[in-house]
Structure 1
């Protein structure tokens, strides 16, 4: 949720990694697992990831899904491929899909001004399309200060309006449409906008318009007062409470904390969703191929804008990172990526129970790229 792109692996070995014995499915044929599993296990150890779930499906019918490591560092309960995990900013792709469907339905236009829906708030003359593409210039509420304050009140329930109010006095970062910045405020606003247009809560809209049509039965958008995850689930971990901690030696590594029960309402339409690896695999394909949109709208979705990272470009609630089209997400205790490789349609999903590595690298993003390099295209 906090950032999109982090690629530097950490260098320390701590956790002994083994396959979860509950719900683990081994590859068919074995060659895919033989190729990819050693890469994943080595990187888990380097990044100190307690547990993860990985799914790889190639267009020629090979597949590998496996749970590695532990879901609970106290009980040493193994990861389970059926575990529910928070998926952070992958939620943006759900929220964006609802907005794009409403545009298809004629309920709104992508080039409508945000000001129409948010009177009294400085929307920087930005449009709905610019909010979707993160080019609105509207300030980000998820500053380091805000994220660090979560440790003081992890169970606080945030309404979307309260989140928006935290940046009400912040000036725009740049004129709308002239640059790009990963401001989560855009997607909090888009969720609120969808609710205004339809009169329905965002969670219901996503359930009816995304989860149900694709039979993503393990996915949910929790109510803002709900900090629980459905059973079975993996607990979520984070190195300390300082989201802005330095990685420069000789800075000591903070303790590994269990932050599972942090209320995800602070992420709202930008990052509150919960899913399983099976459902994320369905979504990785549907998002990249436009299963829930007409061809014209999908083409608009895949209109790319360059980001600060030369490896990545951003569409309308979708990102292309080195040829992996989908989305990633980071939220307290979890980091995930679900993507379809543009060159051949290989589906790669990685769900981890660690927010970020000791060097602040993004575990699922790094491992997804390593898998993409390891699997022949």
Structure 2
């Protein structure tokens, strides 16, 4: 009996030893794997050039002017968010106001990611151009080359990037053709509805005949990125841009972020709830900070990721039917002046979120404003361009992509579809936010 007990005891001790060894081995294996991942991420880090010189005089002058604009123009308009102004990649002015939740005590800081709406298009465009640069596709490839069921002949990747596809806007046609608004729309749904309801869409125009700002273009381009790379759109941006550039407070919104993402509010401070269009990406749905957007700006100028040829293509004007200084490149809005100078920028608006990302290429200056409480004053940040050059006569560019909205009561506006459908199944007037 004593022998049996000893045998059982030894076996139990042996089992404990084996389990302990297995646990320690696995922990070391996990740690080794994590170390390899960390090393891989470290190896992929891109070292951006250091900020350049700005004289004390210029720095003080720019800072004081920005502070005055922030205190007397932006904040009185009910702004809730952050602003950053840089010269030669050096931050000259940076300020934050308000809270992530209204009311709340989670003060907005340089680490608070906010929705940049259509400024996201700059990432989508450059992701596509990176694939072009790497020889994985061509700008003049038709979209149907990669999606054979796409029944819109002549629509090329270049047409999509420059908003010259002639396609209708999914913001309108998803509801018009009976989408169940209790379910989120996906990018694939945008594609499927476009293809399946083509015969019912009367206002489709011939590709590459005129500029028509359309979110559908960039929702489709996100699908293209996924098709070519075999990664999700979010993974590709993370691995190609966010990690190498150490944009640690930037991400592509998914359902998993619903409870943690910084919410947006209308001009009264009332929360803007998520709606059925909030899962479509490529045209919107990147959350970031002013500091991370400055990193993106610096990366574009550093040429560590993109060649001169790629950047020249991105900033080339494609819509020249109408005279004037305003134009659109490949994912970038532009002011092009008679002397050849350019301001490259993009605005964004989705629900209560507004963003302005303005890049003065000649002067190497950057103006960034991101807010989560609706105010059109965010777009007036273009006035700060006068600190770097004779740009004070810039026109109001928002009229190209937004309905006329009074700061008094933007909620009263109902955005009506710009399309005429042969067989409408719902009312034409739909109360929907635009991503611009």
TM range (shorter): 0.7 to 0.9
Partner residue in 1 for 2:111: 82
Shift of 1:123: 2.4
Taking structure 1 as the reference length, the TM-score comes to 0.75
Tell me: CA distance 1:172–1:120, structure 2 relative to 1, closer, same or farther (3 Å). Answer: farther
| Inter-partner Cα distance in structure 2 for 1:94 and 1:104 | 15
Tell me: CA distance 1:320–1:288, structure 2 relative to 1, closer, same or farther (3 Å). Answer: farther
2:139 to 73, 85, 110: 110
Partner residue in 2 for 1:326: 345
Q: Deviations over 1:120-178 (max 9, x none)?
A: 3332411111111111111111239959x99x95x843211112334442356321111
**1:282 and 2:295 are equivalent in the alignment:** yes
**1:35 and 2:65 are equivalent in the alignment:** yes
Shift of 1:348: 0.9
Partner residue in 1 for 2:399: none
Shift of 1:200: 1.1
| Inter-partner Cα distance in structure 2 for 1:215 and 1:94 | 15
**1:341 and 2:360 are equivalent in the alignment:** yes
Shift of 1:310: 4.6
Q: How many residues align?
A: 322
Q: Deviations over 1:309-359 (max 9, x none)?
A: 95531111122247431322211221112222133011111001134x3xx
1:207 to 216, 238, 241: 238
**1:163 and 2:163 are equivalent in the alignment:** no
Shift of 1:179: 0.4
| Inter-partner Cα distance in structure 2 for 1:289 and 1:124 | 37
| Displaced runs of 4 or more, over 6 A | none
Tell me: CA distance 1:87–1:260, structure 2 relative to 1, closer, same or farther (3 Å). Answer: farther
Which stretches in structure 1 are left out of the alignment for 5+ residues? 1-27, 240-254
Partner residue in 2 for 1:53: 82
Shift of 1:265: 3.7
**1:370 and 2:401 are equivalent in the alignment:** no
Partner residue in 1 for 2:326: 312
Question: Comparing both structures, which one devotes a greater share of its residues to helix?
Answer: 2
Partner residue in 2 for 1:269: 282
**Aligned-residue CA RMSD in angstroms?**
3.1
Partner residue in 1 for 2:32: none
Q: Deviations over 1:181-200 (max 9, x none)?
A: 11111111111111111211
| Inter-partner Cα distance in structure 1 for 2:91 and 2:249 | 23
Q: Contact between 2:174 and 2:193, CA under 8 Å: does it hold in 1?
A: no
Q: Secondary structure at the match of 1:138?
A: coil
Q: Secondary structure at the match of 2:252?
A: coil
Which stretches in structure 2 are left out of the alignment for 5+ residues? 1-55, 337-341, 391-436
Q: Contact between 2:112 and 2:249, CA under 8 Å: does it hold in 1?
A: no
**1:191 and 2:222 are equivalent in the alignment:** yes
Q: Please tell me whether Structure 1 or Structure 2 has the larger radius of gyration of its CA atoms.
A: 2
2:266 to 227, 238, 245: 238
Tell me: CA distance 1:305–1:32, structure 2 relative to 1, closer, same or farther (3 Å). Answer: same
Q: Deviations over 1:229-252 (max 9, x none)?
A: 45xx4x31125xxxxxxxxxxxxx
Shift of 1:76: 5.8
Shift of 1:296: 1.2
**1:218 and 2:232 are equivalent in the alignment:** no
| Inter-partner Cα distance in structure 1 for 2:231 and 2:283 | 17
| Inter-partner Cα distance in structure 2 for 1:113 and 1:144 | 23
Tell me: CA distance 1:321–1:71, structure 2 relative to 1, closer, same or farther (3 Å). Answer: farther
